[in-house]
């Protein structure tokens, strides 16, 4: 049996209007409502029977929300991202290096720019007992087995860190490029380059937004461009970010068919 999802048709729908619908229909409290919005951006329901999907569609219409019912098997999966290592921006396009291959792309080929802010676990390595006594050095040289307590122990901890991603979607191969804010050589910014990789990332995002005139943008991209507070735009996981990209691809395909 086929399953269906109800998605928002308009990416600019008022957030408050969507929150009120979720609270009324699902009887969510404030916490559950915000969690739902973060986990399933653009979706009002998923994996429902056609009857249930039509019921949600009608209820959303009563709240002046524009929605679409889509068969789950027709939901397109976005292409896998190709991570960039270096780039160089020109007037009408940009060079990029990925997997040691240099290519050129025109800004006219960009049809969507998405930005994701994800709280990720990052490794933090600390080494304890780094100072060795003379006896320990002698034992090491003589290959004498040390007890666990006397050995130098490398302990791996993790910490939460906000990672910024920019995904550039293209009308031709490679179809999707990804930039991670702390993993790109920003030397091409020259005099604009700062000591902060995040500030460099924002400068780059502004450049792409200004030069990619045909590209639609997700709300996080617009929030960064408009210098809005970003605390409410942090995704629960990379999966939530990918789900928003799936939704944006559906909305973009509807717009292109008009």
The pLDDT confidence band at residue 159, using thresholds 50, 70 and 90, is confident
What mean pLDDT do residues 191-213 have? Answer: 95
Do 94 and 109 have their domain in common? yes
SS3 string of the chain? CCCEEEEECCCCCCHHHHHHHHHHHHCCCHHHHHHHHHHCCCEEEEEECHHHHHHHHHHHHHCCCCEEEEEHHHCCCCCCCEECCEEEECCCEEEEEECCEEEEEEHHHEEEEEEEEEEEEEEEEEECCCCCCHHHHHHHHCCCCCCCCCCCCEEEEEEEEEEEEEEEEECCCCCEEEEECCCCECHHHHHHCCCCHHHHHHHHHHHHHHHCCCCEECHHHHHHHCCCCCHHHEECCHHHHHHHHHHHHHHHHHHHHC
Structural domain includes residue 253: no
Structural domain includes residue 251: no
Do 165 and 223 have their domain in common? yes
Do 225 and 100 have their domain in common? yes
Structural domain includes residue 255: no
Do 106 and 177 have their domain in common? yes
Express each pLDDT in 164-182 by its tens digit.
Answer: 999 999 988 889 999 999 9
* % of the chain with per-residue pLDDT over 90: 64
Residue 126 above 70 pLDDT? Answer: no
Structural domain includes residue 53: yes
The pLDDT confidence band at residue 152, using thresholds 50, 70 and 90, is very low
Cβ atoms of 181 and 165 within 8 Å: the answer is yes
Residue 94 above 70 pLDDT? Answer: yes
Distances from the Cα of 33 to the Cα of 7, 18, 245, angstroms:
16, 9, 20
The pLDDT confidence band at residue 155, using thresholds 50, 70 and 90, is low
Provide the residue range defining the domain that includes 136: 126-157
Please give the tally of structural domains in the chain: 3
Q: Report whether the peptide linkage leading into residue 174 is cis, meaning its omega lies within 30 degrees of zero.
A: yes
Do 47 and 14 have their domain in common? yes
Express each pLDDT in 2-57 by its tens digit.
Answer: 999 999 987 666 778 899 999 999 999 999 998 898 888 999 999 999 999 999 99
Do 66 and 167 have their domain in common? no
Domain with 47 in it: what CATH number?
3.30.1390.10
Do 49 and 9 have their domain in common? yes
């Amino acid at each position: 049996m086929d399953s269906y999802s109800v998605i928002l048709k308009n990416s600019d729908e008022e957030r408050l209007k969507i929150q009120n619908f979720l609270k009324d229909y699902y009887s969510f409290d404030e916490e559950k409502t915000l969690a739902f919005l973060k986990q399933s951006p653009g979706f009002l329901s998923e994996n429902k029977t056609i009857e249930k999907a039509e019921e949600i569609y009608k209820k959303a219409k009563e709240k002046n929300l524009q929605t679409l019912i889509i068969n789950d098997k027709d939901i397109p999966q976005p292409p896998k991202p190709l991570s960039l290592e270096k780039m160089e921006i020109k007037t009408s396009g940009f060079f990029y290096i990925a997997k040691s291959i240099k290519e050129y792309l025109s800004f006219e080929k960009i049809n969507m720019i998405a930005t994701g802010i994800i709280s990720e676990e990052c490794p933090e390595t600390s080494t304890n007992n780094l100072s060795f006594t003379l006896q320990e050095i002698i034992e090491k040289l003589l290959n004498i087995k040390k007890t666990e307590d006397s050995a130098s122990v490398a302990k791996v901890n993790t910490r939460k860190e906000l990672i910024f991603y920019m995904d550039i979607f293209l009308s031709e191969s490679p179809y999707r490029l990804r930039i991670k804010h702390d993993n790109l050589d920003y030397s091409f910014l020259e005099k604009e380059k700062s000591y902060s990789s995040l500030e460099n990332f924002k400068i780059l995002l502004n450049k792409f937004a200004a030069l990619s005139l045909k590209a639609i943008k997700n709300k996080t991209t617009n929030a960064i461009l408009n210098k809005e507070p970003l605390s409410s735009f942090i995704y629960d996981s990379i999966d939530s970010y990918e789900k928003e990209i799936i939704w944006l691809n559906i909305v973009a395909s509807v717009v292109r068919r008009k």
